[in-house]
Amino acid sequence: METSVKFEDLTKEFEDVVAVDHLNLKIEKGEFFALLGPSGCGKTTTLRLIAGLEQPTEGKIFLNNEDVSSYPPKERDVAMVFQDYALYPHMTISENIGYPLKVRGVAKEDRQERIKEAAENLQIGELLDRRPSQLSGGQQQRVSVARALVHEPSVFLFDEPLSNLDARLRIEARTFLRHLQKELGITTIYVTHDQSEALALADRIAIMEAGQARQVDAAQKVYHEPADTFVANFVGSPPMNLLQCRVNMEGETPILETENNTISFTNLENRLQRLKERDELILGIRPEDMDLTLNVDQDEQLTGLVGEIYAVETLGAQVLFSVKIGNSMIRVREMSSEKVSQLAVGDDVSVEINEDRVLYYDAEDKALIN
Amino acid sequence: MISKKTAFFFLLPALVLIFIFLIFPAFWTLYYSLTDYSLLGASTEFIGVQNFINLFTSARFWNATILSFEFVFFSAIIGQAGVGLLLAMLFHRKSGWLKKLVRNLAVASWLIPAVVVAYAWAAFLDKEYGLLNQIIGIFGFTGIDWLNEVPMGSIIIFNIWRGAAFSMLLFTSALKTIPPSHFETADVVGASLWDKIKDIVLPQLKTFIGSDLALITLWTFNLFTPFLLTGGGPGRQTEILPIYTYFKAFKYMEFGLGAAISAVILFINLTLALVYLNYLKAE
């Protein structure tokens, strides 16, 4: 695969903050790549560095194998879509879409043709004579994408383009963007703080924190095998449960001791080779990889995780339980069923864990143990 | 809720002052413009529109009127507003010592009393000892007598220097009302500074520009300070309307005629103000 965008030790410092910290990344041609992270993680600064709106303090940016680090924005052949769409209120939709062409001195007839083409691509052909204020948020968003599209850039840059839309429109626009990007095959870099958006749209995701990429992987992999506890905690809604525990040997059988419970996994021995050296671990378990059972007999000696239901939230087809175990809270997501609907706040439950899906993280460096 | 009566009571002191110092003198002036009131003459007679007839048939009056319009157009509309907008644009979205320096210097030039500024400029432009000619001398050119050879140019530059700060400050704030993404979109597609002024700033700041032009036009129209630089001369080359009024009223003591010129200035100002207000209303 051909490389479209590459960073080498890309660093950006503002007065006393390091926004981007020696970032190394390769983005392939035609890829839909998301930069995901909490606010202040450096994702937007990274995007602005690619556009040339900021100058790197250190490091290099390559576009199509050319070092563009010192190029002004217009020589980079990129197009950017902003969160607020940045449509010019005094221009018609047609003039807005055609603005990049006008600045670049494209002849008027040629311009009209390309505006029409871009507008039809975005299904806004009938809006060309209106002004931005006469359009809905979703339509304005399409206009801003059309304006980015019109001069056929080699890279598309999106800065949270969907966050000003309401929930229903956002999903519609998301599907549309994904479809359009695959159809056009233009390399796309997409900044968002919304993990579900990144998972839905991107081929690959870089999860950023404090100016560094914590994990760069395919969306599926980011979700199922978060590289460290930060990613585990950031991706997924609700996020992965993280349980601190201690490894104890009971003869040949390893036992995991949490705050006030013990867990024994049947296949833990197979994994023990990797786990043996450590006596402290963090277990990562997705809410959907656990099951709740009501404890009917109070006197029975229970093994495994035992706790009390703290809250029940209905999520349509699923129900989210928060279970208080000692001082920690665990979230369990169940498909709603008759059995589940009987569980209520205050019930004593035991939590069964789908062992095969458990991830083990080092308690020291918080990294995934493979 | 304050009743209308109470509200009026609160407004009263200001209204009284406005009436005494602004409205009453204006009407007093209008009354005098219809008399031959003079400190030299014995009695004051009501002479109707005779002063205005004298004015409109006087070449000196027309000279002053044309000079005033020239002065307003070049020093205020083109100069102050243009330079102010350009400075505001150049430093927009930027920070650093240069911005602070220019900004502070511009504001200082606006805050220093006009008389001080005028004398500083007279010193700066002096033929023999002026700084400008000294600088020109360094590069091997011979300086000229600025205030005598390019008097109109001199007072125009003086007024631009003096007043650009106001427009700069106004436009600096106004530019902040345009979302940064509008400029960044233009940057990414490669728009030049002129493109940005023409395509983003002028259309989006119409109302701010209108207010700015209204204010500086009126201020400049009434400006008397150029007198301190050129005294209206040489000859009558810089005798703008306020200076002409001064000569008539206070040098020749023809208060009636002076009042008539003031009335004309008032009329021009009111017309310009109405034009601007109408424009702002339409926007």
Residue B182 to residue A86, Cβ atoms within 8 A = yes
* Predicted pLDDT of residue A135: 86
Position A149 scores a pLDDT of 85
CATH match of B28-282 with 1.10.3720.10: yes
Interface mutation vs chain A, best among B93, B177, B185, most A CBs within 10 Å: B185
Residue B225 pLDDT greater than 90, yes or no: no
Query: How far apart are the C-alpha atoms of B260 and A59, rounded to whole Å?
Result: 72
Structural element, H or E, at residue B117? helix B114-125
Which structure tokens are listed for A279?
């006596």
B197 touches chain A (CB under 8 A): no
pLDDT in tens, A66-112: 888 888 888 888 889 998 888 898 898 888 888 988 888 888 888 88
φ, ψ dihedrals at B44, nearest 5°? -100, 125
Helix axes A108-121 and A93-103, enclosed angle (nearest 10): 130
Buried (b) or exposed (e) across A59-97, using 16+ Cβ within 10 A? bebbbbeeebbeeebbebbbbbbbbbbbbbeebbbbbbb
Assess whether pLDDT exceeds 70 at residue B41: no
Percent of chain B with pLDDT over 70: 99
Q: Which residue of B has its CA nearest to A73?
A: B188
**A-contacting residues in B 153-192 (Cβ below 8 Å):** 179, 181-182, 184-191
Q: How far apart are CA A81 and CA A141, in angstroms?
A: 9
The label of the residue with tokens 């008397």 reads: B224
Residue B81 is predicted with a pLDDT of: 92
Omega of the bond leading into B242 within 30 degrees of 0 (cis): no
SS3 B92: coil
Alpha helix ranges (H) inside chain A = 43-51, 93-103, 108-121, 137-149, 167-184, 195-201, 219-224, 229-234, 268-275, 338-341
The torsion angles phi and psi of A186, rounded to 5 degrees, stand at: -85, 135
**Contact, A54 vs A45, CB < 8 A?**
yes
Predicted confidence at residue B30, as pLDDT, reads 87
Q: Do A104 and B200 touch (CB under 8 A)?
A: no
Give which of B187, B10, B198 is closest to A73, Cα–Cα.
B187
> Cα(A199)–Cα(A215) distance, rounded to whole angstroms?
14
| B261-to-A18, A177, B111, B265 alpha-carbon distances in Å | 65, 68, 30, 6
Cβ-based contacts under 8 A for chains A and B: 59
Return the exposure string of B54-90: e unless at least 16 CB atoms fall within 10 Å of the residue's CB, then b: ebeeeeebebbbebbeebbebbbeebbbebbbbbbbe
* Domain ranges, ordered by start, for chain B: 28-282
A99 vs B contacts (CB less than 8 Å): 185-186, 189, 199
Say if residue B234 is preceded by a cis peptide, omega within 30 of 0: yes
* pLDDT per position as a tens digit, B190-222: 888 888 888 888 888 888 988 899 899 999 988
pTM of the model: 0.78
By Cβ distance, the residue of A78, A89, A104 closest to B204 is A89
Amino acid in position B202? L
CB neighbours of B51 closer than 8 A, spacing ≥ 6?
B33, B34, B36, B256, B257, B259, B260
Half-sphere exposure of A228 (CA within 13 A, CB side): 14
pLDDT at position A275, please?
Answer: 62
Which of chain B's residues have a Cβ under 8 Å away from the Cβ of A52? 187-188
pLDDT (0 to 100) of residue A189: 92
Residue A72 with chain B: CB contacts under 8 Å: 190
- pLDDT for B70 equals 92
> Which positions in chain A have a beta carbon within 8 angstroms of at least one beta carbon in chain B?
51-53, 72-75, 78-80, 82-86, 88-91, 99-100, 103-104, 147, 151
- pLDDT score of B237: 84
CB contact under 8 A, B188 and A73: yes
Among residues A49, A61, A3, A96, the alpha carbon closest in space to that of A191 is found at A49
Q: Find out whether A46 and A23 touch, Cβ atoms under 8 Å.
A: yes
Q: Which of B188, B197, B207 to mutate to test the interface with A (most CBs of A within 10 A)?
A: B188
Mean pLDDT of chain B: 86
Q: What are phi and psi of B43, to 5 degrees?
A: -120, 160
Q: What is the pLDDT of residue A270?
A: 62
The reported pLDDT for the residue numbered B52 is 84
Q: pLDDT band at residue B164, thresholds of 50, 70 and 90?
A: confident
Q: Which residues contact B267 (CB under 8 A, 6 or more apart)?
A: none
Q: Which of B190, B199, B200 sits opposite A74 (nearest CB)?
A: B190
For B120, the token pair is: 């500083």
Report, as an integer, the average pLDDT of B157-180. Answer: 89
Q: What is the pLDDT of residue B14?
A: 92
What is d(CA A329, CA B255) in angstroms, rounded to the nearest whole number? 91
- Model confidence band, residue B78 (pLDDT cutoffs 50, 70, 90): very high
Per-residue confidence (pLDDT) for residue A278, from 0 to 100 = 62
Contacts for A308-314: CB closer than 8 Å, 24+ residues apart: A308/A346, A308/A347, A308/A348, A308/A349, A309/A343, A309/A344, A309/A345, A309/A346, A309/A347, A309/A349, A310/A345, A311/A345, A312/A343, A312/A344, A312/A345
Q: Which two tokens stand for residue A52?
A: 């040339």
Secondary structure of A57-79 as H, E, C letters? CEEEEEECCEECCCCCHHHHCEE
Q: Give the ipTM of the model, two decimals please.
A: 0.80
> What pLDDT, on a 0 to 100 scale, did the predictor assign at position B71?
92
Name the 3-class secondary structure at A241: strand
Collapsing DSSP states into helix, strand and coil, what is residue A344? Answer: coil
Q: How many beta carbons lie within 10 A of that of residue A130, not counting itself? A: 15
* Other beta carbons less than 10 A from residue B178's beta carbon: 18
pLDDT, one tens digit for every residue, chain A (370 residues): 677 888 888 888 888 888 888 888 888 888 999 999 888 888 888 888 888 888 888 888 888 888 888 888 888 888 899 988 888 988 988 888 889 888 888 888 888 888 888 888 888 888 888 888 888 888 888 888 888 888 888 899 999 888 877 888 888 888 888 888 888 888 999 999 888 888 888 899 999 888 888 888 898 888 888 888 888 888 888 888 888 888 777 766 667 777 777 776 766 666 656 666 567 888 888 888 888 887 766 655 555 678 888 988 888 888 888 888 878 888 988 887 777 778 888 888 888 888 778 888 887 788 887 7
Q: Which residues of A201-240 are buried (b: 16+ CB within 10 A; e: fewer)?
A: bbbbbbbbbbbbbbbbbebeebbeebbbbbbbebbbeebb
